[in-house]
Amino acid sequence: MNARHSLGKLVWVAIWLVWSRVGVPVPKSSAGETRSSETVRRLYVAEPGIRNYLEYGGHGLLVYDIDHGHRFVKRIPTAGLDSQGAPINVKGICASAQSKRLYISTIKQLMCLDLVSEKLLWERTYDSGCDRMAITPDGRLLFLPSFEGPLWYVVRAEDGVEIARITPRSGSHNTIVGPNGKEAYLAGLNSPSLAIADTQTHQVVRSVGPFAASIRPFTVNGRQTLCFVNVNALLGFEVGDLITGRKLYRVEVKGFAKGPTKRHGCPSHGIGLTPDEKELWLTDAANSRMHIFDATVMPPRQVADIVLRDQPGWITFSIDGDYAYPSTGDVIATRSRTIVAGLSDEKGRAVQSEKMVEVDFQDGQPIRAGDQFGIGRVGVDRPVGPAAGR
């Protein structure tokens, strides 16, 4: 038996050497471990991500394995408590592979976690509260809206120190930093116009609109020429030109009527482009559906509808665009337009959240991060080095 065991071991080593020389991937061992470096994709879901409701996943940062059926991996403890020690509403999430950090905002605080050690690095409060923020592509600055207030904080991502303020007085709410890092798009609950700020001067340089009503969730394409916005009272969306500032189109959902919504008071509260920008996905709360539009034509044309397990209030996508993530916790394969999984926690509870982002790792180090908004990626430079390999 010993001789046989030694011979088998020698055969395995010889095969491994041949594979490694010709570049064939080394298979996994029986224990499921991989003998060569591979990309590990994780979905991070911040809770409570539906108001302050703990029944949809409790409190903390939930981690899912994208490549293995979106199975639950772990819960990372987070801060974000009120004066009585109760968890409060999470408002936004973003991450940077460059700085190896992940950020979560609540209505009161902004916190920073290390993506490698998974430890809380710092937590800061701001005098006017916090809302859904965005980070520059280089991971150096955060544009942090006050909680439905008059201003956005420009925050140093390293330590959370405020370095400037932008004050459109629009009821600050949702924020996107464009893929080229040069402009930040600032949407307020009290304004029908989208403000555009220069990320270097921290000044508003122009605006888009006015749209038909105040702007709710929105997204932009990769070349930063178009925006797609939800507005109050509309089951649908409007399209604006980020260069000229003009509103271009109004698109209403066909075949479905507006109805009562559990949250947000807005028929469509969630909109996103697939990374290849071929499709636009739109939430419909009252009808518990996602509506899919062909975005290769203008205005986009409605082509499909998907029934969800609850009322959606947000939508984003995996980095490669293979999966769509509505806030209901349904996981949708974008090519087949079928629900392939449902997020649940370690207690088996159905998880819901409007705040989730993908981060990919190699050799235990983050190599790329997605976004919470479903931003288009056509025309965006692909990463170089290990991040370009998938």
* Total domains present in the chain: 1
> Which has the minimum average pLDDT: 31-40, 269-278, 341-350?
31-40
Kindly tell me if the per-residue pLDDT of 254 is higher than 70: yes
Residue 288, domain CATH: 2.130.10.10
- Evaluate the omega torsion of the peptide bond into residue 217 and state whether it is cis, within 30 degrees of 0: no
Per-residue confidence (pLDDT) for residue 385, from 0 to 100: 29
Kindly tell me if the per-residue pLDDT of 13 is higher than 60: no
CA atoms within 13 A on the CB side of 28: 5
Q: Which domain holds residue 65?
A: 39-375
The percent of residues above 70 in pLDDT, for the chain, comes to 88
- Pick 36 or 142 by higher pLDDT: 142
- 371: in domain: yes
Please, are residues 370 and 390 in contact by the beta-carbon 8 Å criterion? no
- Pick 256 or 18 by higher pLDDT: 256
Query: In Å, how far are 155, 298, 383 from 237, measured between CA atoms?
Result: 31, 13, 31
Residue from 130, 129, 98 nearest 115 by CA:
98
Pairing of β 60-65 and β 365-369: unpaired
- 183: in domain: yes
- 387: in domain: no
- Pick 97 or 7 by higher pLDDT: 97
- 15: in domain: no
Per-residue confidence (pLDDT) for residue 33, from 0 to 100: 40
The percent of residues above 90 in pLDDT, for the chain, comes to 87
Please, are residues 371 and 356 in contact by the beta-carbon 8 Å criterion? no
**Counting every residue, how long is the chain?**
390
Kindly tell me if the per-residue pLDDT of 2 is higher than 90: no
Per-residue confidence (pLDDT) for residue 249, from 0 to 100: 98
Per-residue confidence (pLDDT) for residue 37, from 0 to 100: 76
Please, are residues 133 and 144 in contact by the beta-carbon 8 Å criterion? yes
Grouping H, G, I as helix, E, B as strand and the rest as coil, residue 267 is: coil
- 164: in domain: yes
Kindly tell me if the per-residue pLDDT of 222 is higher than 60: yes
> Which has the minimum average pLDDT: 14-23, 203-212, 295-304, 364-373?
14-23
Q: What's the CA gap between 284 and 328, in Å, rounded?
A: 12
- 3: in domain: no
Please give the model's pTM, rounded to 2 decimal places.
0.89
Residue from 148, 158, 223 nearest 186 by CA:
148
Residue from 66, 64, 46, 65 nearest 56 by CA:
46
- 11: in domain: no
- 331: in domain: yes
Question: To the nearest whole number, what is the mean pLDDT of the chain?
Answer: 91
Per-residue confidence (pLDDT) for residue 29, from 0 to 100: 33
Per-residue confidence (pLDDT) for residue 154, from 0 to 100: 98
